[in-house]
Structure 1
Amino acid sequence: MTQHNSINYLEIPVKNIERTKAFFNRVFGWRFQDYGPEYTCFLDVGIDGGFYTAKESFNLDKGCALIVLYSLSLEDTMAAVLDAGGEIIKDTFSFPGGRRFHFADPNGNEFAVWSE
């Protein structure tokens, strides 16, 4: 059941839906449900949401929110990001509670990955 006043859904702008799906499937194993050529939902990733076609990308320099993913192995995930065509934009660093790095997906969107 959806909780009142909870974050329920994310919609993320991307320049290329197919390339985005390939990247997130390869790196994180995500599955998708398409709704036309300009929208796809990601399935079973911890929160409901989707990618939609847009000309813009997002990053912290633009004041955008940071989407943070979890990994059991930062090193393995970083290698997978690079292998799939992503770019590391902030190397692994420590913070209270763990470590994380930031990457840009093939659209130029900034995400982070953290681990204990």
Structure 2
Amino acid sequence: MRYHESIDYVEFPASDLEVVKVFFKQVFGWDFVDYGEDYCAFSNAGLDGGFYHSELTTAAERGSALIVFYSRDLEKTQAKIVDAGGRIKVPVFEFPGGRRFHFCDPNGNEYAVWSDVQAGAG
């Protein structure tokens, strides 16, 4: 369902669309549809969006918006990211209300994952 004047879709750059599709399918279970060689759309992510072919990357220190995922098991999600070829950019840290870490997908885009569940509390 579409909501008037709400965020509806998000797009990210990716230098290698095949690599990014494998990564997000493996880690988060996203589904993809290709629209030509230079674009793929994703769904089953909480918010629909897509990746377009570009050598650029997103990073919080350059002023990019930061997409933040939620996880009930931060360490397990972090392990899945690393196993799928992602890179941890900022290790797990605590903040009032939870913990989080930042990671880059195989194309170099930065994201974060947070949890309000304490380590070992599952």
Q: TM-score range by the shorter chain?
A: over 0.9
Query: Would you say 1:15 and 2:15 are equivalent positions?
Result: yes
What is the TM-score when the length of structure 1 is the normalising length? Answer: 0.95
Contact (CA 8 Å) 2:86, 2:103: kept in 1 or not? yes
* CA deviation vs aligned residue, 1:7-40 (integer Å, no higher than 9, x gap): 1110111110000001111111111111111111
The 5 A counterparts of 1:41-60 are: 41-60=41-60
Q: Distance in 2 between matches of 1:20 and 1:95?
A: 29
Q: Which residue of 2 aligns with 1:84?
A: 84
Identity %: 54
SS of structure 2 residue aligned to 1:8? coil
Q: Which residue of 2 aligns with 1:37?
A: 37
Q: Distance in 2 between matches of 1:59 and 1:70?
A: 19
Q: Distance in 1 between matches of 2:10 and 2:61?
A: 20
- Segments of 4+ in structure 1 off by > 4 A? none
Deviation at 1:97, TM superposition (A): 2.3
Q: Distance in 2 between matches of 1:97 and 1:31?
A: 31
What is the TM-score when the length of structure 2 is the normalising length? Answer: 0.91
Deviation at 1:88, TM superposition (A): 0.5
Deviation at 1:109, TM superposition (A): 0.6
Q: Distance in 1 between matches of 2:63 and 2:7?
A: 19
Q: Distance in 2 between matches of 1:95 and 1:67?
A: 17
Q: Which residue of 2 aligns with 1:66?
A: 66
Query: Would you say 1:93 and 2:103 are equivalent positions?
Result: no
Q: Distance in 1 between matches of 2:77 and 2:59?
A: 20
The root-mean-square deviation of aligned C-alpha atoms, in Å, is 0.9
Letter of the 2:71 partner, please give it.
S
Deviation at 1:106, TM superposition (A): 0.6
Query: Would you say 1:24 and 2:24 are equivalent positions?
Result: yes
Deviation at 1:71, TM superposition (A): 1.3
Contact (CA 8 Å) 2:42, 2:49: kept in 1 or not? yes
